[in-house]
Structure 1
């Protein structure tokens, strides 16, 4: 009873979607939109995060109060 069903009917639309997704690299084309998004995700966003990290380095003390610390430090 636990084996595969012989009456299983696969949805043709889902099968087409799965095939397209598996072969996505065959249908890819470089367009201005793809180029812009690639530059944005590979250069602009990491660059902005790096700049932000370097700009705020050492500015904030995020260490919490530990056992033995005096309350006067806070």
Structure 2
């Protein structure tokens, strides 16, 4: 219906883009745990969520935005 699927592509792909695309697709085959990748994984899996959770726990219930008007205080205590 749309056509053009059986013809070879008329635009030649850049070899560097093809190599990069192949690397992205097959990244799981060549991944190795190194100290750098271990620390990055630890930071994103443990440190960042714990910091966000601590900040959320410390500020839970401190501000109430519902039903406030100009001049009202948003802090509860």
Same fold (TM over 0.5): yes
What CA RMSD, in Å, does the superposition of the two structures yield over aligned residues?
A: 2.3
* 1:10-59 per-position Cα deviation (integer Å, ceiling 9, x unaligned): 21111111111100001111110100010100011100111111111111
Q: Number of residues paired by the alignment?
A: 68
Matched, 1:17 2:20: yes
Q: Provide the TM-score with structure 1 as the length reference.
A: 0.75
What does residue 56 of structure 2 align with? Answer: 53
Distance in 1, Cα, partners of 2:26 & 2:34: 19
Greater fraction helix: 1
Matched, 1:3 2:4: yes
* Unaligned runs of at least 5 residues, structure 1: 66-70
* Unaligned runs of at least 5 residues, structure 2: 73-77
